[in-house]
Amino acid sequence: MALDRHGRHIHYLRISLTDHCNLRCVYCMPEDITFRPNAELMQDDEILQLVRLFTRLGFDKVRLTGGEPTVRAGLVALVRGIASTPGVHSLSMTTNGVLLERLAQPLKEAGLQRVNISLDTLDPLKFRNLTRWGSLEDVWAGIQAAERAGLLPIKINCVAVRGSNEADMAALTRLTLQHPWQVRFIELMPFAGATDLQTSQLITAPEMQTLIEDSLGPLEPLNGGALDGEARLYRLPGGVGDVGFIASVSAPFCSDCTRARLTADGRLRLCLLREGEVDLLTPLRAGATQEELRLLILDGLWNKPWGHGLAEGVIPLNRAMSEIGG
C-alpha cells in the first residue's frame, strides 16, 4: 500500500498517453502550442512497465488521459495490455469524443470500462469557438457509440467559462432527463498557457448551480450532499441521470485526494495544481532496477503535497493543462 505523509492511501493513477490533441480548447492550451516529439514520450512498453510497478504498490484504478488519448497510435493494443495487468480493477478514459465513433467498440473489447467525454456546449458555433476547430456532430456520434459499446456509465465533462457557455449549462443539464448520464460542471483551473483567461473567467460551482436552477428549478441533492469522488451530485425531478459540480478551486477536496499522475513524458506529478514532479522515464531508460524505480515512486508519493495553493495565489506555470491530463 502506498501512503503519503498525510496518511492518504494513494491508489488511483491517471496516465497522460500524449500531450498531442486534435482540438485546441481555449481553456486547455494555446492555439500555437508546440507538442513534444514522440521520442520524448513514454513508449507502450515503458507505460506497461510502470503500470506493473504501480499495481504492485497497490494502485488498482487507472484513467487514461491526454492531451487527447485517442490520437495515440496503437491505443487499442495498449489498453488491452493495461487491462490485462494483474491488479488493475478499474480502467477508464477521458476523451474529447471526436474519434470515439470508430474506437468505442474496439476499446471496450480491449478492456476499457468507462469514458468521460468533454462537451462544453450543445451549440455547434459555440463548440467551434471553444475548441477552435472542432465539430459537435463528431462528439455526439462518439457519445452514442460509447453508449452502444457499453462504456458505462457515461460522464459528460463541461468546463464552465464565463462569457462563453453559461447559457448552455441548462441545456446540458436537460440531457439527464432523457439519458442515464452524469453531466458534470467543472470549475476552470489556472495553468500555464492561458492563465489570464483561466483566472478572470472562473464560474464557481455555487454560481453554476444558481444559473441552472434559475432556468430549471431546484436540483435534488444526492448522497446527502456528500462528495462522490470529486463531485457533489444532484438530480432534476424526474431525471434519469445525475448532475455534478466539481469545485476544485472554490471548495477543494484535497484532503480526500488518492490520485497520482503520470505525464506523457514520464514524470510522476503528485498534485494537478502543484509543479512538483519526479522523473521516472529517464532512470527507466538508463536501466534503473525495479527496486530503484519502486523507491523513487514511494518517495515521491510520500511527499505528495497536502493540496494546491490557489488560495494563496500559487499557480502552476511549468505545464499547460494538456500536458498533464487533468
For residue range 28-81, list pLDDT tens digits in order: 777 777 888 889 999 999 999 999 999 999 999 999 999 999 999 999 999 999
What is the torsion angle, in degrees rounded to the nearest 10, for the CA atoms of residue 211, residue 216, residue 220 and residue 222?
-70
Is the Cβ–Cβ distance between 119 and 139 less than 8 Å?
A: yes
How many whole angstroms separate alpha carbon 243 and alpha carbon 223? 12
Is the Cβ–Cβ distance between 93 and 78 less than 8 Å?
A: no
Query: What are the φ and ψ backbone dihedral angles of 206, each rounded to 5 degrees?
Result: -60, -40
Domains in the chain: ranges and CATH: 12-323 (3.20.20.70)
Instruction: Inform me whether the pLDDT recorded for 323 exceeds 90.
Output: no
Give the strand pairing for 61-65 and 90-95: parallel
Q: Which three cell numbers stand for residue 141?
A: 456520434
Q: What is the pLDDT of residue 194?
A: 47
Kindly state the helix (H) or strand (E) to which residue 245 belongs, with its residue range: strand 242-246
Give the strand pairing for 231-235 and 220-221: antiparallel
3-state secondary structure of 109: helix
Mean model confidence pLDDT for the chain: 92
Q: Quick: pLDDT tens for 144-187.
A: 999 999 999 999 999 998 988 999 999 999 999 999 999 999 99
The DSSP code for 230 is: T
Q: What is the pTM of this model?
A: 0.94
Q: What single-letter amino acid sits at 275? A: E
Burial 250-264, CB ≥16 within 10 A → b, else e:
eebeeeebbbbbbbb
Is the Cβ–Cβ distance between 19 and 11 less than 8 Å?
A: no
How many whole angstroms separate alpha carbon 55 and alpha carbon 275? 24
Q: What is the pLDDT of residue 196?
A: 58
Q: Quick: pLDDT tens for 214-240.
A: 999 999 999 998 898 899 999 999 999
CA 248, 322, 139, 211 dihedral sign is positive
Phi-psi sector, 186: left (phi>0), alpha (psi -120 to 50), beta: beta
Q: What single-letter amino acid sits at 5? A: R
